[in-house]
Amino acid sequence: MACREAVLAKLKASEIEKFREEEEQNVEKARLAEEAALALAEVETQKAKAALEAAEMSQRLAEIETQKRKLAELKVKHEKEQRIRTLQEVVYNSIPYRRYDIKEIQVATNGFDNALKIGEGGYGPVFKGVLDHTIVAIKVLKPDLAHGERQFQQEVLILSKIRHPNMVLLLGACPEFGCLVYEHMENGSLEDRLFQKDETPPIPWKNRFKIAYEIATGLLFLHQSKPDPIVHRDMKPGNILLDKNYVSKISDVGLARLVPASIANKTTQYRMTGAAGTFCYIDPEYQQTGLLGVKSDIFSFGMILLQIITAKPPMGLSHIVEEAIKKGNFMNVLDPNVPNCPVEEALACAKLALKCIEYRKRDRPDLATVILPELNRISHIWNSDEE
């Protein structure tokens, strides 16, 4: 009997131990399940937080894009208003000009037909058209041109205030769409005629000397403008236009700058933040130092003068001409397409041009007292020889 009770007690103790172990396992499982649930909850919380941050970021980006779009719209609106203000400023000027609306411009150019395009520059395309029963040239500002707005304003402000036989005539404008209307120059640019674009005949020598004199005359007019001199900054054959009688006129004053009269003739002159102009024609001293003066245009004029007598591209032209003079074969660099070359007069022009393209402004000749008198002398000699 005692043995049986001992066995039963042992079995009961074993069951109790097994029950205890199962309970411990259940507790451990519950603990692990709770930890897993907490970890899962943390993951879900982080996911929700990340989703919220992403949503907030997306909203912020959308707000930034909206703000940028509004700023762009405001910029366009401001530029349009600025064009209108520019026009209104010059309406009260003593030299009025016509205001055109975009419909008139579209009709005049047949919807900006490429067949009527007569030129293309950094500013934009130029179309031939008819306005007020007159053939005109219409320059159209490229809509995406960042600096074009400033050039438009500068061109309107300068050309509306000046009149000269050797400056292109501004007839009107459509400021809302950046269109400028000029007199039409039948013979196009000096560049096109020198290089005989469209197989046009070469410019006679008599006309070449006259063109050089007229360019210098127009340039002097800009430099003597009151109250402040005007520096063109982009003188080149492409910006010299010729009418049907080969009268030359300076165009494209969009890069021009008014230089305070008090410093216009000083060696250390008006400092610009960035040089502007066209490679091969830009004043090297101005390009290097940012110092702008009326003699910056003299360098460009010297390059134009060399091209007038040689009809050659500007790259390395000064060196070619200088070497030809030294070696005594100057005639070889003159335009071979024009007969009866006046070597003496052309040589005088070449020597004058080489003085104009001296590196330092102070070494370049004065326009009024040296360049114009010399060109006038050359022109008179040629005319006397012809007679």
Handedness of CA 244, 335, 279, 378 (dihedral sign): negative
Q: Is the peptide bond before 227 cis (omega within 30 degrees of 0)?
A: yes
Q: Are strands 170-174 and 179-183 parallel, antiparallel or unpaired?
A: antiparallel
In whole angstroms, give the CA distance from residue 295 to residue 289: 14
In 156-290, beta strands by DSSP E? 170-174, 179-183, 230-231, 240-242, 248-250, 257-258, 270-271
Longest dimension (CA), the chain: 164
Residue 171 main-chain phi, psi, to 5 deg:
-90, -30
The set of catalytic residues is: 234
Q: Could you give the C-alpha distances from 240 to 18, 120, 168, 178, 374, in angstroms and in order?
A: 110, 14, 9, 22, 21
Q: Which of 139, 143, 309, 300 is nearest to 235 (CA)?
A: 300
279-288 CB burial, b ≥16 within 10 A, e <16: eebbbebbbe
* 22, amino acid identity: E
CA angle 285, 286, 288 (to 5 degrees): 65
Give the three-class secondary structure for 355: helix
